[in-house]
Amino acid sequence: MNQSALTLYADSQYASPYAMSVFVTLREKGLPFGMRTVDLDAQQNLQPPYRDQSLTARVPTLLHEGAYLSESSAITEYLDEVFGAPGYPSVYPKNALDRARARQVQAWLRSDLMPIRTERTTAVIFFSPNAEPLSAQGRAAVDKLFRVADRLIGDGAQHLFGEWCIADTDLALMLNRLVINGDPVPDKLRRYAEAQWQRASVQEWARLPR
């Protein structure tokens, strides 16, 4: 496969957690790529040509050798499979069950916890905090996040499955919506989220000009 023909389409504010997930994957695998931005505020994603290139008309979308692929977890799985030869670090666990569980975590984070995603958008991470208290629905979603994360993260563990995988980045970002905003977070989960945030590939995304 020609790795030089990779282009990542991300939101122009670099605030999408899903574009971040693909960016981190590309960096962790050591793949050179170009970046193009899509202005979501101007609804550029709903206009041609992007609307016709990205099947779901959302970010991120990956262009590879003339083919477009959207939806972040599909992209990260694709990259791990296509660039899975020796010399390309894996972003998913090697063990089949752990790999499935990592994908489970990703699917859950993308389909649940909507009150957190609404009341603690990634603007609190990349721009400014939100002092508005969480709603009852938000607190219930936070309780669920904490309960699941506490089960997943062993005491003193830095990673979900013994070593880093892309699900660590995704889970830590969800927790950091609360940590960085100043909301109360249990110490174990806060330490995990803060440690994941310091990963070089994550910090490179965090430092992109906004």
CATH code for the domain of 35: 3.40.30.10
Task: Give the C-alpha separation, 108 to 42, whole Å.
Answer: 29
Q: What is the CA radius of gyration of the chain?
A: 17
Position 4 pLDDT exceeds 90: no
Query: Could you tell me the pTM of the whole model?
Result: 0.95
* 102 and 34 belong to one structural domain: no
Question: Is 41 or 4 the better-scoring residue by pLDDT?
Answer: 41
Say which amino acid occupies 163.
E
Encode pLDDT of 13-43 as tens digits: 999 999 999 999 999 999 999 999 999 999 9
Contact 113, 139 (CB under 8 A): no
Residue of 83, 105, 89 lying closest to 163 (CA atoms): 89
Residue 210 in domain: no
Indicate the burial class of 146 (C-beta count within 10 angstroms; 0-12, 13-18, 19 or more).
middle
Q: What is the mean pLDDT of residues 40-59?
A: 96
Q: Specify the pLDDT at position 60.
A: 98
Give first-to-last CA distance, the chain, whole Å: 33
| DSSP label of 134 | P
- Among 199, 147, 163, CA closest to 20: 199
The more confidently predicted of residues 86 and 198 is 198
In a domain, 208, yes or no: no
pLDDT digits (tens, 9 = 90+) for 89-138: 999 999 999 999 999 999 999 999 999 999 999 999 999 999 999 999 99
For 147, the domain range is 96-203
pLDDT confidence bin for 156, thresholds 50/70/90: confident
Which pLDDT value is given to residue 85?
Answer: 86
**Band of the pLDDT at 198, cuts 50, 70, 90?**
very high
Distance separating alpha carbons of residues 153 and 172, to the nearest angstrom: 11
116 shares its domain with 142: yes
Look at residue 3 in the predicted model and tell me its pLDDT: 53
Structure token digits, residue 117: 């995603």
- Report the SS3 class of residue 20: helix
- The residue count for the chain: 210
SS3 67: strand
188: CATH:
1.20.1050.10
- Mean pLDDT computed over every residue of the chain: 96
